[in-house]
Every structure is written in structure tokens, then in C-alpha cells.
Amino acid sequence: MSDTVMIEVPTTARMLACCAGIAADGHEPKPAKPGTTAAEYLGTDERANPVSIDDRIAELWFDPHKPPPDEPVLITIAGTPCATPGNLTTITAQKKSGKTAFLSAIVAAAISEHGDMLGVKAFNPDNKLVLHFDTEQSAMDHWKICDSILRRAQLTESAIFKSLCLTSLPILERRAVVHHVIRQEAQRGNGVFIALIDGHGDLVRNVNDPEETADYVAALHALAIENRCHIYGALHLNPGSDFKSRGHLGSELERKSQTNLRLEKTDELFCAWGDANRGAPIPKNAGPCFVWSNDARMHVSVASRLQTKSDLQLEDARMKVAEGFRLADKSALHYSELIAAIQRVPGIKSSSTAERHFRNAKEARYISKNLLNQWQINP
């Protein structure tokens, strides 16, 4: 008797149905009215193909002789690397606090090297596709957002920018379309660089349903891994809260996201920052700030909350050194090791620049030596 266990792996159509929450456990969806399932919406009805569990997990085992390739940094914010392929970023804020404007700046930075990008810098040398999904706006407002993206990028059009307005579709179909489009576009041209969802709350039926939201976030993360892209998404904070995003959905997204960005509005000033990231944080006083400009008909950058050049230099050094430790995956390094690690940070091209960041961090007492003569970040 064979020891091989056989399972039935859903086809694309059935996986889309599961992603849409129709059958989150992966089993055959229950009969529904015509046109209501994701598979029916996409007009497909393929049969599942049996694949053994051993085949499914063959490439998933840890192999000490096959380390994965280094993940390229796709996006930096205020000089801090915060997005790599196969990961998620969640942007949270109260209503009218700049989420859509900041998402638009991320799109613009990914398709152009010119313009005011609100502190965002993208590294897209292969001109991979940037996908934008609007789940909140009317058709006219969606058009205005896309128009502002192109104006910010100083372009009249872009072959690597595509945006869909999903507001008119039922929730399950919106989710199915997001998965379908990302998978489809990942197989075309140079692939997908980043995808942005504005916003998450309109892709679930109940933000407080633990099962639905866990399945939604897990499927989204798997989608980013499968297609080697980074997925951004916006979500409102709970009404009256300065820190808690909406329901179980917010908790799941914060737990799974590589970067958690917050946007705050004080008077007419909008600021972006994040302290719950896997990599270096973006301190509130160093994050990018912007205001609305009637002349430009868009938000424009203003000085951050750090006031002096010295403050900016020290904060930059602190972020670069922290990222060096993260890239080295060690909490303590000898001097030469630390300089080499800082040189791996995007934007640092010479040992002299790395040494300058080291000196600034040392003088600010951000780092110090331990008993083994190694440098480490002070608690």
C-alpha cells in the first residue's frame, strides 16, 4: 500500500472562489445563484487536478545549502527601506487623513523618477507593472485620483500603471478580481512590481469576523509571495482611536505586514510614520510631511518635524545603522562587519559614507561596544 497521500488542489477558478470567502476551507463551494461566485464571475469552470502532498511541499523544506536570494528593496520612505517582494504594507489613518494621497505618491514613485513623491523612493529598474485597485471612490473620483498620480509623476500616461475602480462590484467579486488581475499580470511582460488596494475594508463582509479576516489576509500574503510583488493596502482606524485599526481585519493585517504605516493630520499638516515594522522604524519626527496645495491641485511635501540639519543627519545615521544590523541578521557586530553591513543599505555606495553614518550613530550614543568588543544598538 502506497504511503503517498493524495489531495485535490483547486484550479485557478476554485482558488479564486476560496479567496473570495466562498469556501475558505478549500472544499467545493456550495451551490449559489448564477453569477454570484467568483468562478462564475470570471466565466470559468475548470476541474481540479490531484497532486500529492509530497509534491506540494517538495520545495518548501529548509535546506542549509540553498539560501534564498537576497530580497531587493522596492520602496524606501524617508530613506528607510520598508518593502520587499512577497510582503505586505498596511497604511492606517482616520478618515481624510491622507491615505489616498500617500498611496498615490507610492504609485507615482514606482512609475517615474521625477516629481514630488512625498518622501517615497522606488527602485523599479525593470519597469515592472504597478497595479492600483480603488474600492472606495466613485468613477469620477477614481479618475481624478489616477489623474493626480500621473501629474505627480509628471507624465501624461504610463504603460506600467494600471488602475481598476471596483466600487460598483459586489464584495466577493472585488476580491476575486484583485487575485485574478495580479496573477494574470504577473505572467505578462516583466511581472508586477507592487499592487495597491485602497482600501481593505471594502473587500471583506465583516471586519470583525476572525475566520473571514484571517483567510483574507493569509490569501493576500500568499498572493504576494506567489507573484513576487509587494502589496500595499489602506485601512481606517476605529472611530475615536489614535492607534487601533478596524476590527480583527486590522489586527491580522498588522500582524502579517512587513511595514505598518500610520498617517496623522494635525491642523493642515499630514505626516507618515511607523514604529511596528519588521525592519527599521520610521520615527514620527522624521517621517515625511505634506500639505494640500491649491496651486498644484495635490498634496506637496514640507519639512519634517525634525528642525535642524544636525537632527536630520543623526536620524538618518540611526536608520541606516539599524537597517545594517537588520540586513546582517545579528544583534552585535565587529567594526568591519558593521561597516560592511551598512554598505548593503540601499543608497549607500561607499565605505566612507558607511563610516560617516557609523560615527554619527556612535556620537549620538545610539550604538556602543559590548564586552566582546562588538558594536550593538543601545537599549
Mean pLDDT of 16-39: 43
% of the chain residues with pLDDT over 70: 83
The strands making up 298-302's β-sheet, listed across from edge to edge, are: 161-165, 129-134, 192-198, 230-236, 88-93, 259-266, 269-273, 289-293, 298-302
List, by residue range, all CATH 3.40.50.300 domains of the chain.
75-302
| pLDDT over 90 (residue 37) | no
Residue 272 contacts residue 282 (beta carbons within 8 Å): yes
Residue 161 contacts residue 193 (beta carbons within 8 Å): no
Sign of the torsion angle spanned by Cα atoms 209, 101, 19, 228: negative
What is the rounded average pLDDT for all residues in the chain? 85
Q: What is the pLDDT of residue 286?
A: 84
Q: Name the β-bridge partners of 90.
A: 233, 260
pLDDT per residue as tens digits for the range 207-227: 999 999 999 999 999 999 999
| pLDDT over 60 (residue 5) | no
Mean pLDDT of 90-95: 90
Distance CA 162, CA 176 (A): 17
Residue 72 contacts residue 84 (beta carbons within 8 Å): yes
SS (H, E, C) the chain: CCCCCEEEECCHHHHHHHHCCCCCCCCCCCCCCCCCCHHHHHCCCCCCEEEEHHHHHCCCCCCCCCCCCCCCCCEEECCEEEECCCCEEEEEECCCCCHHHHHHHHHHHHHCCCCCCCCEEECCCCCCEEEEEECCCCHHHHHHHHHHHHHHCCCCCCCCEEEEECCCCCHHHHHHHHHHHHHHHHCCCCCEEEEEEECHHHHCCCCCCHHHHHHHHHHHHHHHHHCCCEEEEEEEECCCCCCCECHHHHHHHHHHCCEEEEEEEECCEEEEEECCCCCCCECCCCCCEEEEECCCCEEEEECCCCCCHHHHHHHHHHHHHHHHHHHHCCCEECHHHHHHHHHCCCCCCCHHHHHHHHHHHHHCCCEEECCCCCEEECC
| pLDDT over 90 (residue 229) | yes
pTM comes to 0.70
Residue 78's region, left for phi above 0, alpha for psi from -120 to 50, else beta, is left
pLDDT per residue as tens digits for the range 237-284: 877 666 667 789 999 999 999 999 999 988 889 999 998 888 888 988
At 93, is the pLDDT very low, low, confident or very high (cuts 50, 70, 90)? confident
Name the fold adopted by 309-377: Arc Repressor Mutant, subunit A (1.10.10)
Q: What is the pLDDT of residue 39?
A: 42
pLDDT per residue as tens digits for the range 328-368: 999 999 999 999 999 999 888 899 999 999 999 998 889 99
Distance CA 379, CA 370 (A): 12
Enter the C-alpha cell of residue 168: 460598483
| pLDDT over 80 (residue 82) | yes
Question: Which overall architecture, per CATH, does domain 75-302 show?
Answer: 3-Layer(aba) Sandwich (3.40)
| pLDDT over 70 (residue 87) | yes
